[in-house]
Amino acid sequence: MTPGARIAASIEVLDAVLVGAPAEKTLTNWGRSNRFAGSKDRAAIRDLVFQAIRCRRTSGAWPVAHSARAWAIGSLHANDEDPVEVFTGAGHAPEELTADETIRPELSELDVWDLQDWTIQNLIEFYGDHQAWEIAQVLRHRAPISLRVNLQKASVELVQSELALNGIETAINNVCDTALTVQNNPRRVVLQDAFVKGWFEFQDAASQAVTAAIPAHGRILDYCAGGGGKSLALAARTGGKIFSHDVNLGRMTDIPLRATRGGHDVQVIPPKDLNPTEKFDTVICDLPCTGSGAWRRSPEGKWKLTESDLERYVELQCEILTKAVGHIGPGGTLALITCSIFKFENQMQRDFIIKTFPELSILTEKQYLPSPSQDGLYLAVFQNNIKIY
């Protein structure tokens, strides 16, 4: 496909997004309906669509887009690309630009943040103007693809050299000692023998760093395991058994396969099988949250989230934390984790724990902010000061 044909396809997808269809699902359906498009074409179209969503406000498509065509034109402008070069009308390219379409929209001081007004205000109140602005600008661009090297099977150097032999270059990510950032050919990584042999997994570098900072010991419960990324990372770090639990059993479907590939001992505990009084030495609570620290990966979230949604997340988090605390044994630890950059889901939840459970004291905390090398995550680790049952 030509660049113009790819733009035309992205406009077709954005048309569906404008009426409420999820971008990922729409892209999948488009690919199935257009078998002529090769893998590189589908990847390029996906990048165009998601970049348009990340930069929706500077594209002139927020709060309302005049059309998907206008959105696509604005997105190219927002990313310093000239739409004239692809809106040619030739072949399968979109029709040439009109005189009005060649004029870049005027942007307000808030538009250039590419966030909702209330989100901007929240970030400024907590981080200050400069740091909030830096966070917003990072969220306008594609997230890095990072690998977690499984040190039980391979070294960082071995994984790097093996991937390099197959044309995939990686760079050491200093955020965590197991992290590599993919520099090229990212879609070929999963096809490598090294992946099949369990030498590495896909995991954001900050997520790896958070897991590495948990003083995991004894019986370990990953209370909100989801797909199991942190369970696997903990298993690789400790060499011990990890118990994975999630209220939604379906989220944990892939954990056994991934654990087998990595050579780890991970036991999935269905919700009905976890005794509410059962104690563990380490409890990991990776809370459901707004995902604001990872909005580059799911950019629709930063436009759909409302203040009421945030409030509901906070309420749910308090409920989950209260249940999780009940599983901490004497002298045990609790790790509170989110992939959020909002104080309401992070520092205020830290304070909720301290105020509500006087037997818990904070050991450490860390806020990782979105950057070119990582997502935004928060970690707070608490110690249970009760020494006997």
The predicted-structure confidence for 279-335, as pLDDT tens digits, reads as follows: 999 999 999 999 999 999 999 999 999 999 999 999 999 999 999 999 999 999 999
CA-CA distance, 263 to 327, in Å (whole number)? 27
Domain end among 202, 233, 266? 202
Residue 299 in any domain: the answer is yes
Cα-Cα-Cα-Cα dihedral sign, residues 131, 132, 138, 144: positive
Query: Do 193 and 272 have their domain in common?
Result: no
Q: Note whether residue 89 is domain-resident.
A: yes
Residue 49 forms part of a structural domain? yes
Contact, 307 vs 118, CB < 8 A?
yes
Torsion of Cα atoms, 77 then 79 then 85 then 86, to 10°:
-90
Of 112, 135, 169, the residue that ends a domain is: 112
Residues 87 and 11 in one domain: yes
As a whole number of angstroms, the distance between CA 68 and CA 79 comes to: 17
**222 and 184: one domain?**
no
Sign of CA dihedral 12, 53, 226, 349: negative
87 and 186 in a common domain: no
Q: Does 324 lie in the same domain as 196? A: no
Q: What is the DSSP letter of 37?
A: S
What is the Cα–Cα distance from 236 to 331, expressed in whole angstroms? 24
**Which of 259-280 are b and which e, b meaning 16 or more Cβ less than 10 Å from the residue's Cβ?**
bebbebebebbeeeebeeeebb
Whether residues 190 and 292 share a domain: the answer is no
Residue 15 falls inside a structural domain:
yes
Compare 105 and 74 and report the one with higher pLDDT: 74
One domain, residues 193 and 268: no
Give the integer Cα–Cα distance in Å for 146 and 204: 5
The answer on 189 and 338 residing in a single domain is no
User: Which tens digit of pLDDT belongs to each residue from 187-222?
Assistant: 999 999 999 999 999 999 999 999 999 999 999 999
d(CA 298, CA 266): 28
372 and 230 housed in the same domain: yes
In tens, the pLDDT along 12-64 reads 999 999 999 999 999 999 999 988 888 899 999 999 999 999 999 999 999 98
- Is 135 a member of any domain? no
Task: Supply the DSSP symbol for 153.
Answer: T
| Domain match, 107 and 256 both | no
Considering the domain boundaries, does residue 150 fall inside one? yes
The pLDDT of residue 105? 82
> Both 230 and 291 in a single domain?
yes
Q: Examine the domain organization and report whether 375 and 263 are in the same domain.
A: yes
| Residue 132 forms part of a structural domain | no
State how many domains the chain has: 3
Domain final position from 89, 112, 135: 112
Residue 227's identity, in one-letter code, is G
Per-residue pLDDT band for 348 (boundaries 50, 70, 90) equals: very high
Centroid of chain to Cα 258: 19
Residues 116-138 have pLDDT tens digits of 999 999 999 999 999 999 999 99
Task: Note the pTM of the prediction, 2 decimals.
Answer: 0.94
> Does residue 29 lie within any of the structural domains?
yes
Residue 356 CA from chain centroid, whole number: 30
How do residues 159-190 score in pLDDT, each as one tens digit? 999 999 999 999 999 999 999 999 999 999 99
* Mean predicted confidence (pLDDT) in 63-70: 93
* Domain around 81: 3-112
Q: What is the CATH number of the domain that holds 163?
A: 3.30.70.1170
Q: How confident is the model at residue 103 (pLDDT cuts 50, 70, 90)?
A: confident
CATH of the domain at 338: 3.40.50.150
